[in-house]
Structure 1
Amino acid sequence: MDNPGTLILIMAMAVLAPLLAASVSRLLSVPVVIFEILLGIVVGPDVLGLAHHDQVIDALSDLGLSMLIFLAGYEIRFGEVGVPVLRRAGGAWLISLALGLGISLALNGGDLSRSLVIGTALTSTALGAVLPILRDSGRLGGRFGTVVTGFCAVGEFGPIIAMALLFSGRSPGASSAVLAVFALLTAGAVWWASRPRQPWFARMVATTLHGSAQFAVRFVMLLLAAMLGLAELFGLDTLLGAFAAGLLTRLVLTGSVPKNSEVILSKVEAIGFGFLVPFFYVVTGIDFDLKALLDGGRPLALLPVFLVLFVLVRGGPVWLLAPRDLSTRAERGALALYAATCLPLVVAITTIGLDEKVIGSGEGAALVGASMVSVLVFPLVAPWLLARSKGLEAAAGAGGARADRGGEAW
C-alpha cells in the first residue's frame, strides 16, 4: 500500500461521521452519508490535501459501491411489492428516461454523448441510501414503504441497465445481445437459488453461525464475487452483477435457512455499512472536484438546476404514476422525493462521462454536488410531508368528533 495514512484517515472519518450525525440529531436529522462525504471533501486535495489515492484505496471504494448496490438488491421483496406497483414504477422510469434525454439534448445543443450521460444520471434513485433512512425511521414496513421500495428499486435497476446498453462501447445490438445472455445466466442462477438446499447446507450454516468458520457469510461473499466476475466477463458494469447477487442471496437464505437469514444479513451489513460503504462515500468526497464547482459561475449555477431537474425528471413521473391508494398529495410528494434522491449511480455515471471526456469537470462536480444535496434535503422533506399530512388528518378527525358531539348535544 502506497498510502497507509490515507487508509487510517478514511476510517477515522468513517468513525467521526456517525458521531457528528448524532450530535446534530436533536436539531436536524442528517443522514450519516452526508457527513462521510463532507469529511472526505475536507481531507481531500481541494481543502486539507491529506488523503491520496492508490490502487488499494480505489479497490476498496469500488467494493464499497458494489456492496451498497448488493444490499439494495437484497432488500427488494418483489413478491410483496407486486406486479401492479412494478408496472407503474417501470412506466415512471421510462418516462423519466425520455424526459431526461429530451431535456439534456435541448440544453446541450443536440450533443448526444453528453446528453446520454446527463440524461441517464437524472433518472437514477439511491435505493441503497433511501432504504437505511426508511428503516431507521420505521417507515420501511407497511404499504408506503413497500411502494417506495418498488419505485426506488426500478430507479436503481433502470439506470444500471441503461449503463450496460449505452456506455459499454458496443453497438446497441451487440450490447442488447450480451445483456440478454447475462440475463439468461442470471435467470438460471435464480432457478438454482430457488431450489431447496440439501440438509447439510442448513446444518453447516447453523453450526458455524457464531464460530470462526462463518460459512454463511463466506457463501454470500462468494455469490457476490461470482456475479461481479460474471458481469466483468461480459463487459458489463459490475453494479449489475452486484444487484443480481443481492436478489440471489435473498432467495438462497430465505429459502434454505429462513430462521437464520436475518442474523446472516446483519453480519453482511456489518461488513458493508461498517466498513466498505462508508469507505466509498468518504472516497467520493475525496474525489469531489470542489475547485471545479467553485471556479467560475457556471458549474455552481448548474447545481440548483440539476437539483430541480432531479425532482422534475425523476420525481414528476413518479408523482403521476403513484398507486391510487396513495391518495393524499403528501404521500405522493414523499414518494416522489424519495425516488428523486440519488447519489451512487450519479457518481458512477459521472465518472464514466469524465473518463470518456464527454462532460467537463465543472458539469461533473455540479451533478455530483446536486445529488449530494438531494440526499441531504429530500429525505428530510419527505417525512415532514408525511407527518404534516397525519397531523392534518388527526386535526380533521378531532374536529369531526367535536362536531358530532355538538350535534348530539343539540
Structure 2
Amino acid sequence: MSHSGTLILIMSIGVLAPLLAFLAGRWLAVPLVIFEIVLGILIGPDVLGWAHPDALVDGLSELGLAMLIFLAGYEIEFGKVRGDTLTRSVRAWLLTLAAGLGLGVLLAGGDFHQGVYVGTALTSTALGTVLPVLRDAGELQGRFGSVVMAFGAVGEFGPIIAMALLLSGRRPAEATALLAVFAALTAFGVYWALRPRAPWFSRVVRRTLHTSGQFAVRFVFLLLALMLGAAHALGLDMLLGAFAAGLITRLLLDGAAPEEGPEILAKVEAVGFGFLVPLFFVVTGIEFDLASLLDGGRTLLLLPVFLLLFLLVRGGPVWLLAPRDLAPRSRAALALYGSTALPLVVAIAAMGVDDGALGAGEAAALVGAAMVSVLLFPLLALRCRAGAGAGAQSPPGERVTGSESW
C-alpha cells in the first residue's frame, strides 16, 4: 500500500482507538496506547498486511516519539521535583542501572555488548505514557503525582544519558565531551529562558494566541527544532534534545507568559496527542516483529522474563527508596508506574538490532514485554491507589489528605 494509504489507515486507528478506550473504560481503564499498538499490529505485515510504513511515515513516527519526550520534559515542575525526593529518585535509578547492566550481561550469556542494550532498556520509565494516566485519574497535581514525576523524570532522562554514553559506539571520553557540550548548550538555554522577557514578547503572545499567527506555538516548535538540531549536530540521540527542549519551554512560558502558559500547552498537546504521538504508537505496532516473537522457544519465554525484570530491576529500587511519607499501597503504585516502559525500549531495541547486538527475536521480546507493562502496571497501580483511598476516584486537581498531603 502507498504511504498515503498507510497514513490514512494510521489516522483511522488514531480516531478509533479513543472510542474503544472509552467503551472499554466502562469495565476496565485500559491505557489508550494499548489500543493504538494492538490495532497497529493488526494492520501490520504479520497479521492483515495492510500497512507498510515508508520513509515519510517513519519520519513522522520519529517526530511523534520526540514530541512524547518533549511533553514529558515540559511536565517537570522544578518547584516539586527537588530535595529529598529528587535525591531518592536519582539513587533509585543508579541502583537500577547497576542491577540492569549486571542482569543484562548475565541474561546474554556473558555477552557484554548485548547485555548493555538489555540492561539500559530495563532502566527506563515511560513518563510520557504514565502522565496521561495520572492526569485522567486526577493525581498529577497531588503529592503522589509529584513523586511519580520525580522518579519518572529520572527514569526518562537517565536512560537517554546512558544511551549517549554506552550505546553510541564512541569512546567514553569522546561521548562524555559531547554530552558536556550539549549540557552547556542546555544550561545556556535555561539561563536564557529564565531571563525577563521584553514587554513586546508577552503582548505578541496574547494578541496572536487566538489568531492564525499563533506566535507562541510556533516559538515552542522552533525551540524543539533547535534542541533536536543541536543534539543531531553533536551526534547525540534526538531524544536528549527533545527532553531538554521541554524543560526549557516550561521555564520560558512560566516566566514570560504565566497566564497564557496552560492554553499554549493545550495547543501544543493538541498537535502532539492529536496527531504525532498516536502515529508513533500505531507505527510501533505495525513494525512490531510478531512473527519472530511467535516462533516459540527461547524468544517467547523471554517476554515474561523481561516483564519480570522490568518490575524487579526498575520497580524494586523505586519501592525501596520511595519517600517514607507514602503509604505502603502508594509505594507499590509508585513502583508499578516506575516499571512501566515503552518508548525508550522501542528506541533501544531498534538501535540494538541495527548494531547487530540484538537479534530480531530478543528485540521483539523486549518490546513485547514493554507493551505488556503499559497494559498491566498502570492498571495495577490505579488499583493500589484506590485501595489506599486516593487517586482513581479523586476529581482532577484534588489534593490527597492524610500522610500524603502537602
Partner of 2:370: 371
Q: Counterparts of 2:153 and 2:3 in 1: how far apart (Å)? A: 37
- Residues 1:60 and 2:60 aligned together: yes
Map 1:9-408 → 2, pairs under 5 A? 9-326=9-326, 328-390=327-389
Q: In structure 2, what residue type is equivalent to 1:123?
A: T
User: Percent identity among equivalent residues?
Assistant: 66
Q: Counterparts of 1:199 and 1:41 in 2: how far apart (Å)? A: 51
1:357 Cα deviation from its structure 2 partner:
1.2
Q: Counterparts of 1:261 and 1:63 in 2: how far apart (Å)? A: 23
SS in 2 for 1:79: coil
SS in 1 for 2:41: helix
TM-score (norm 2): 0.95
Q: Counterparts of 1:108 and 1:12 in 2: how far apart (Å)? A: 40
Q: In structure 1, what residue type is equivalent to 2:173?
A: G
Q: Which moved more, 1:5-14 or 1:296-305?
A: 296-305
1:23 Cα deviation from its structure 2 partner:
1.1
Q: In structure 2, what residue type is equivalent to 1:240?
A: L
Q: Counterparts of 1:325 and 1:82 in 2: how far apart (Å)? A: 16
Q: Counterparts of 1:271 and 1:78 in 2: how far apart (Å)? A: 25
Q: Counterparts of 1:278 and 1:124 in 2: how far apart (Å)? A: 20
Q: Counterparts of 1:257 and 1:98 in 2: how far apart (Å)? A: 42
Q: Counterparts of 1:217 and 1:105 in 2: how far apart (Å)? A: 45
Q: Counterparts of 1:390 and 1:222 in 2: how far apart (Å)? A: 43
Q: Counterparts of 1:3 and 1:239 in 2: how far apart (Å)? A: 25
1:138 Cα deviation from its structure 2 partner:
0.3
SS in 2 for 1:81: coil
Partner of 1:394: none
1:297 Cα deviation from its structure 2 partner:
2.0
Q: Counterparts of 1:21 and 1:47 in 2: how far apart (Å)? A: 22
Q: Counterparts of 1:110 and 1:298 in 2: how far apart (Å)? A: 17
1:389 Cα deviation from its structure 2 partner:
2.5
1:141 Cα deviation from its structure 2 partner:
1.2
Q: Counterparts of 2:184 and 2:11 in 1: how far apart (Å)? A: 39
1:105 Cα deviation from its structure 2 partner:
1.4
SS in 2 for 1:336: helix
TM-score (norm 1): 0.94
Partner of 1:406: none
SS in 1 for 2:29: coil
Q: Deviations 1:167-190 (Å, cap 9, x if unpaired)?
A: 112101110011011101110110
Q: Counterparts of 1:171 and 1:355 in 2: how far apart (Å)? A: 19
Q: Counterparts of 1:310 and 1:296 in 2: how far apart (Å)? A: 21
Q: Deviations 1:230-285 (Å, cap 9, x if unpaired)?
A: 00000000000000000000011110010000000000000000000000000000
How many residue pairs match? The answer is 390
Q: In structure 1, what residue type is equivalent to 2:313?
A: V
Larger Rg: 1
Q: In structure 2, what residue type is equivalent to 1:32?
A: L
Q: Counterparts of 1:110 and 1:304 in 2: how far apart (Å)? A: 21
1:370 Cα deviation from its structure 2 partner:
0.5
Q: Counterparts of 1:169 and 1:83 in 2: how far apart (Å)? A: 35
Q: Counterparts of 1:264 and 1:53 in 2: how far apart (Å)? A: 32
1:2 Cα deviation from its structure 2 partner:
4.8
Q: In structure 2, what residue type is equivalent to 1:340?
A: S
Partner of 1:401: none
Partner of 1:5: 5
| Structure 1 segments (4+ residues) deviating >2 Å | none
Of Structure 1 and Structure 2, which has the larger fraction of its residues in helix? 1
C-alpha RMSD of matched pairs (Å): 1.0
Q: Counterparts of 2:387 and 2:189 in 1: how far apart (Å)? A: 45
Q: Counterparts of 2:100 and 2:201 in 1: how far apart (Å)? A: 47
Q: In structure 2, what residue type is equivalent to 1:108?
A: A
1:329 Cα deviation from its structure 2 partner:
1.6
1:390 Cα deviation from its structure 2 partner:
2.3
* Structure 2 unaligned regions, length at least 5: 391-406
Q: Counterparts of 2:364 and 2:80 in 1: how far apart (Å)? A: 38
Q: Deviations 1:295-347 (Å, cap 9, x if unpaired)?
A: 12211111111010000000000111011111x22111000000000000000
Q: In structure 1, what residue type is equivalent to 2:378?
A: P
SS in 1 for 2:123: coil
SS in 1 for 2:159: helix
Q: Counterparts of 1:83 and 1:66 in 2: how far apart (Å)? A: 28
